[in-house]
Amino acid sequence: MKKIKRYIATTILKSIVGVLFVILSLDVLSALIDQLDQLRGGYNFLEAIIYVGLYVPSSTYDFLPLSALVGCLLGLGSLANTSELVVMRSVGVSILQVIWAVTRPVLLIIAGGILLGEYVAPYTDQYADSRRALAQGHESAMRIERGVWNREGNEYMHFNAVLPNGKLYGVTRYIFDEQKNLIEASFVDSAIYQGEGLWIEQDGVVTYFNQDSVQNSGFTFREWRTEVSPNLLNILVLDADELPMQRLYSYSNYLDKQNLDSSEYRLAFWQKALQPLATISLVVIAISFILGPLRQVSMGFRVFVGVLIGLVFQTSQQLLGPVSIIWGFSPMLAVLIPIACCFVIGGALIKRAK
């Protein structure tokens, strides 16, 4: 019995890894083609390859649920096509034992995905964006879609590139008075965090706007005290869905304390927190389809059905997420509804197959 379970688990694991490799290959090729329009300055084709490569951990994490779904359809489907699944059932392997044998490698995949999403992808994504911004040069980095904006009181700041180690490149600061008049603007090539709210700006130019004159001056080093910290910038520089759960949770609480809207970050938190459950629900759907309506169909049709189910699932979550923000109901509920539907449908089909 152990050999049978091990054989099922190995077949499923190989199928999931194979599907994931194919999806990632297509995604990398598509991303590389998209980057061809971004080539400028020092950002050449080699840099584009590095940029796309640094985003592979993030893409791997995003595609794991779909890969698990299609991989289980293909793996179990191959066992059904060769009648191995029928033979296993005839020698006493129950449906629950089949489900557990399929779920074991999926749990391994889920654990690897959590490690990628929490400890690898956020840092490689940030480093990739910063590296590209630096390679493209200052003029490109100052475009609206580049860099990070932040406000602190009457001061507005823009950072061309933010590195995870507490170093900034291309820092532009605009300071206004209480009447919203610009009184000071500065640009520095870089700034290094010293701790306790202190940054050291390097190689900068500052412009003072007086009532009847404008004065310019340069400096090599200058102290800058602010509440902006590397931890805050590491959050602002990434989209909500690229942040690890720990930062999403802490930043959502911070926004709540500031009486600011945290719904986007709450939604991203629950999407990440419940992704393992979402993956398992899709696997249940895959198992139920192989035991039921997709038992005797071709491999190509199974792939088509798997991709279709994955798209419907993803689209439903993408629609319910913004709806929860607009209507004000719990983001957790918006994430759970498609998962619950998968469990209900899958459970009903498995029960019928018994």
How much is the pLDDT for 146?
59
Contacts of 45 (CB under 8 A, 6+ apart): 36, 39
Residue 77 CA, chain-centre distance (Å), reads 30
How much is the pLDDT for 137?
66
From its phi and psi, is residue 208 left (phi > 0), alpha (psi between -120 and 50) or beta?
beta
How much is the pLDDT for 317?
86
| Per-block mean pLDDT, blocks of 10 residues, the chain (354 long) | 86 95 96 91 91 96 94 89 81 84 93 94 88 70 61 87 83 91 93 92 94 89 90 82 89 79 89 95 90 75 86 89 83 92 90 74
How much is the pLDDT for 48?
94
Residue appearing with tokens 């406000």:
151
How much is the pLDDT for 349?
84
How much is the pLDDT for 162?
84
How much is the pLDDT for 241?
87
How much is the pLDDT for 212?
81
Residue appearing with tokens 């299609």:
70
How much is the pLDDT for 141?
46
pTM of model > 0.95: no
